Amino acid sequence: MAEKKFQNSLKNQMLKITLIPLSIMTIIIMIVSISGMYKLTSDKVKEELMREADLAMYVFDTIYVGDYWAEDSDGDGELEMYKGQQPINGENTMIDDLGERLDIDVTIFYKDTRLLTTLKDSEGNRAIGTTASVVVKRDVIETQKPKFYTNVMVYDQKSYAYYKPLISDDGIVNGMIAVSRSQESVQKEMLLYTMPIFITCILTAIVIGYIMVFFHRKLTNRISKIDNYMNGLANGNFDLEMPRDINLQDDEIKRLANEGKRMARSIKTLVEYDALTALNNRRFADKKLEDIRIKAVELGLKYCVCIADIDFFKKVNDTFGHEMGDHVLREVAKKLKAGMVGKGTAARWGGEEFLLIFENRELDIARRELSMIMDEVRTIWVPNSDRQITMSFGLTALEPGETVDSVLQRADENLYEAKETGRNQIVCK
C-alpha cells in the first residue's frame, strides 16, 4: 500500500516546531548579544576617550603653565593658540604625538573654533578654523559640562567623541578639548568581539537543531509506522506484523501500538470468526479458498473441499427449541474443529452447513480422515432425548486451475446426493 501523502504531515509539523523556535531563539540571542556588545563597546570607548582627554589635558597642563587663550598676533587674520605665555599651535606639535600614540584624534577649541587638531582631510589639510556643531556648543560650552557622543559628525565623519570644557581660573570657558574615534574603526574592533559570538550561536544552533531533528525524526518515523500498521488493519490485513522498533521504548507510542495490536485481534475475531461456534466464518473461508486455489496452481499442492450439513437440523429446532439447536451447532463445531487439527481448516458456511478444507491431501486420504470425523459427530446426542446427531458430507478434490465456484458447486452436488440417498454418509467424487 502506498504511503498516504498529507498536506501537512506530522514530520513537517515536527520540523517546524523544532526549527522555527530554534531559529527565533538564535536570532534573539544574537541580537541581544550584539546589542549588549555594542553597549559594552560604547561604554569602553567612552571610558577610553574620557581617560585620554584627561591625559591630554594633564600633559598640556604639565608642560605649559597658564590658561588657554588666542589672538591674531601677526595680523594675518588667523588666531594663534596660547597656554599661558607659550604658543602651542602650528605644525608637528605635541598634539600630533598624543594622537598617534593614543590612536585617536585630538582637538583643542578656542571658544567653538578648532585652533589645534589632528583632524585632516584626504589631502592632508588640517581642520583648523572649523567650528563645532550647534549641539556641542549648547551641551558643552553653555552648560560648562563634559559630554560623550556615540554618533556625532566630526569633520564630516561619524565618530564617537568626548568633549570637555576648558575653564580658566576665574571660571570662564575658554574653549574645549575633544578626543574622538571614527565609528568605522570602533566597528571593526567590535566585529572582532562579535564574530566569535555570531559563529558560536550559529554552530550551537546547528548542533542543537541536528540533535532535535534527529530525535524528532525517530519519533515521527515510529508514528508513521503505526499509521501504516493501522491502515493495514483498516484494509483487513489482520495478520500484519507490527514493526519491531515501535516497541523498543517504553512510552505512549508503545502503548498505542499494543492497543492497536489488541484491537486487531478483537477485530479479527469479529470479522473472521463465527460468534456462536468459534469456527472461522464464511468471509474467512472465501479468502482461504482463493488462497488454496492460487497455491494449487503455483506450488502444485493437493487440496480437498467438503461441504457438510447436519441431518434433520430443522426438526431439532422445532422439537427442542432454538437454544438446543445452538447447543447442537456448538457441539458439532467442536468435533469438526478437533478433527481438522493438523489436517486443514473448518468453517461455518451458513446455518447448519460447514466447510472443511483438507490441505496437502489426496482425495482418498481426505475421505478416510473425514470418516473419522463423521464417527465423532455420531457421538453427539440431544440432551435428555434419544435423538442422535448425524451429518451428510459432500467431498471433492480441487483440480489445479479450477475456479473456486466450480469446486464448491461439485462439493454441493455431492452433498445433495448424500442427503437424497439416505443422509449420514459421505459422497466423494
Is 78 among the residues known to form the active site?
no
Q: Which segments within 143-198 are labelled E, that is strand?
A: 147-153, 158-167, 173-182
Closest CA to 305 of 356, 362, 366: 356
Residue 177 and residue 236: Cα distance in Å, rounded?
Answer: 91
Cβ neighbours of residue 235 under 8 Å, at least 6 residues apart? Answer: 1
Which of 331, 352, 413, 420 does the annotation list as catalytic?
A: 352
Check residue 273 and report its DSSP letter: B
- Residue 55: how many CB atoms within 10 A of its CB? 15
DSSP SS3 for 149: strand
Any idea which residue has 430443522 for its cell?
314
Q: Label residues 67-87 b or e (16+ Cβ within 10 Å = b).
A: bbbbeeeeeeeebbbbbeeee
Give Cα separations from 73 to 78, 140, 176, 205 (angstroms).
8, 28, 21, 68
Name the strands in the sheet holding 147-153, side by side, starting at the edge strand that comes first in the sequence: 113-117, 105-110, 173-182, 158-167, 147-153
Catalytic residues: 352
